[in-house]
Amino acid sequence: MSTSTNSSATAIAIATAVNAGQSATVAVKIALAKAKADTLNAIIGVHETRALAAAARVDARIAAGERLPLAGVPLALKDNLLAEGLPATACSRVLTGFIAPYTATAVARLEAAGAVIVATTNMDEFAMGSSNETSVRGPVRNPIDPSRIPGGSSGGSAAAVAAGIVPLALGSDTGGSIRQPASLCGVVGLKPTYGTISRYGLIAFGSSMDQIGPFATTVADAALALRVMAGKDSNDSTCADRDPVGLEVLPADPVSVLKGLRVGFVAEHEAGLAPAVKACLDDAKKRLAAAGVILVPVTLPHERYAVAVYYVLATGEAASNLSRFDGIRYGHRSPTAQTLGEVYGRSRAEGFGAEVQRRIMLGTYVLSTGYYDAYYKKAQQVRRKIADDYATAFAACDVLLGPVSPTTAFKLGEKLADPLQMYLSDVFTIATNLAGVPGVSVPFGQDSQGLPIGMQLQAPMWADNRMLAVGAALQALR
């Protein structure tokens, strides 16, 4: 068979080959074999029977004359996304044994377009983390250097795509969980505008910031997955009632979009970057300028409060969202509990890991009477200012260029004992979610040890396609 249905090929190449009559089943079998051979702990479940049945259905649809945008494309799902009949545990002990009773809208749309779920990927527990080390399933190893973390919280999905197990995987991004691991593993990771993709069937963390998005090896593949997933869904009231305008196909010559385009950058971002990250950013600016962009310095004056604001709002939302895990309705129930209080208390104490418990306690505190105004309300006010800063910046530029992560992938265990250090991994990605704007990490360089470095592009609300066009150009300029 041709290499175009090999799962190291792009999603678009596989779909093109399958639409032309090559076997989806063969493409899916290759991915299943790779998923089974995973040595990174990126894959926590391989769904062979379901995948082969789905691949056979795709082959039958193609044979009947249908053409599908993602025909036969092997897909991996982060463990917080529901697909009916498959386990979904958010890599938490509290959900061990939980089987999804329905399918997430985003997942259903990918499947309807011909994608085939082959595996579930590892993640930080309830998507809380930046290194994939809070998972009850153990850490994921970075495919470029297995002594290092892949980033998080969607570390398994990033590593699975980087290792060539699947061409397409889904993650969720509340404060950087798609973009940061994409940067650290050297793949494309997209967080769309808040409200673009339905959150129905995503296990909630911080509902006002959570967005599902794709990992892929090319911006074009990520853009295709976005088009398939985007659009109104009556099951998620925050999913925008607007056509996914501007999600049209990327230009054939992506570099052509750069002429005269205003690319903003925040000079303050450049202090404190690891030298290799700074060099990569300088290189990106130089190449973009040579291709005709106008570089525009902008400021995001309130962005320095973003990490603090996020850890008030996201923990408050998490404390509320995770109250449903009570030992009665879902998952783990303490075997030693006698009274109702013990069922709640012990089930939650046994079911949640240390980081999740820390967030629930923080979140409960900031929402409690007497502290609400001082913390939660104040954080909401600063969130508004952060969003206003973006609006001002985007009056002066069409997209923003900057770093994703201040460093390349760190060593396993390096930041685990120091939550604050871990939280600071997300200084450049969190404000995006607070403002609701889209962000994408595009692989652009590497450090002296060959560790990948991604560049981040951000754009105004609903300008995802403009951002992706620039991302495709950036990928072409490498």
Does 5 engage in binding with ligand GLN (CB under 6 A)?
Answer: no
- Catalytically annotated residue among 23, 153, 157, 198: 153
- Which amino acid is located at 404 in the chain? V
Residue 456 in contact with ligand GLN, rule: CB under 6 A:
no
Among 122, 132, 135, 153, binds ligand GLN (CB under 6 A): 153
Q: Give the DSSP per-residue string, 408-432.
A: SPPBTTSSTT-HHHHHGGGTTTHHH
Cβ–Cβ < 8 Å for 115, 15: no
- Output 89 or 177, the one with its CB closest to ligand GLN: 177
What does the DSSP assignment read for 369-400? TTTTIIIIIHHHHHHHHHHHHHHHHHHH-SEE
Q: Between residues 32 and 188, which has the closer beta carbon with respect to ligand GLN?
A: 188
CB 214 within 8 A of CB 225: yes
Q: Which residue, 129 or 316, is less far from ligand GLN as judged by CB?
A: 129
Closest CB to ligand GLN among 151 and 445? 151
Cis check: omega of the bond before 7, within 30 degrees of 0:
no
Q: Does residue 202 belong to the site contacting ligand GLN (CB under 6 A)?
A: no
Residue 76: strand, helix, or coil: strand
The reply on whether position 127 binds ligand GLN by CB under 6 A is yes
Kindly give, in sequence order, each residue whose CB lies less than 8 Å from that of residue 109, ignoring residues fewer than 6 positions away.
228, 229
Nearer to ligand GLN, 24 or 128 (CB): 128
Task: Choose one: 13-21, 69-77, 173-181, 331-339; the region binding ligand GLN (CB under 6 A).
Answer: 173-181
Report the residue number, 23 or 429, with the smaller CB distance to ligand GLN: 429
Cβ closest to ligand GLN, residue 79 vs residue 173? 173
Name residues whose C-beta falls within 8 Å of residue 332's C-beta, 6 or more positions apart in sequence. Answer: 93, 94, 95, 96, 325, 347, 350, 351
Asked if 128 interacts with ligand GLN (CB under 6 A), we say yes
One of 6, 105, 174, 198 touching ligand GLN (CB under 6 A): 174
Q: Residue 129 interacts with ligand GLN (CB under 6 A)?
A: yes
Residue 235 contacts residue 200 (beta carbons within 8 Å): yes
Q: Which of 125, 133, 173, 236 binds ligand GLN (CB under 6 A)?
A: 173
Catalytic annotation on 135?
Answer: no
Amino acid (1-letter code) at residue 172: S
Beta strand 211-216 pairing with 188-191: antiparallel
Question: C-beta of 33: minimal distance to ligand GLN in Å?
Answer: 30
Q: Which stretch binds ligand GLN (CB under 6 A): 4-12, 175-183, 380-388, 464-472?
A: 175-183
> Angle 464-477/219-229 helices, nearest 10 degrees?
160
356 is a contact residue toward ligand GLN (CB under 6 A): no
175 binds ligand GLN (CB under 6 A): yes
Q: How far apart are the first and last CA of the chain?
A: 31
Q: Which one, of 43, 102, 107, 44, lies nearest residue 73 by Cα?
A: 107
Distance CA 8, CA 13 (A): 10
- Residues recorded for the chain: 478
Place of tokens 């595009």: 442
Q: Which stretch binds ligand GLN (CB under 6 A): 43-51, 171-179, 252-260, 344-352?
A: 171-179
Radius of gyration over every alpha carbon of the chain, rounded to an integer in angstroms: 21
- Catalytic residue (choose from 7, 23, 29, 78): 78
Q: Per-residue string for binding with ligand GLN, 65-104, x by CB under 6 A?
A: ----------------------------------------
78 a catalytic residue: yes
Q: Which of 154, 177, 405, 441 is catalytic?
A: 177
The span of 89-97, 121-129, 295-303, 363-371 binding ligand GLN (CB under 6 A) equals 121-129
Nearest approach, Cβ of 152 to ligand GLN (angstroms)? 6
**Hey, how many other C-beta atoms are within 10 angstroms of the C-beta on 304?**
12
219: CB partners within 8 A, 6+ apart: 188, 250, 254, 440, 442, 468, 471, 472, 474, 475
Residue of minimal Cβ distance to ligand GLN: 177
User: What number of chain residues touch ligand GLN (CB under 6 A)?
Assistant: 13
When asked if residue 121 is in the footprint of ligand GLN (CB under 6 A), the reply is no
In the residue annotation, 441 being an active-site residue is answered as no
- Catalytic site positions: 78, 153, 177
| Binding site residues, ligand GLN, CB under 6 A | 127-130, 153, 173-177, 205, 314, 426
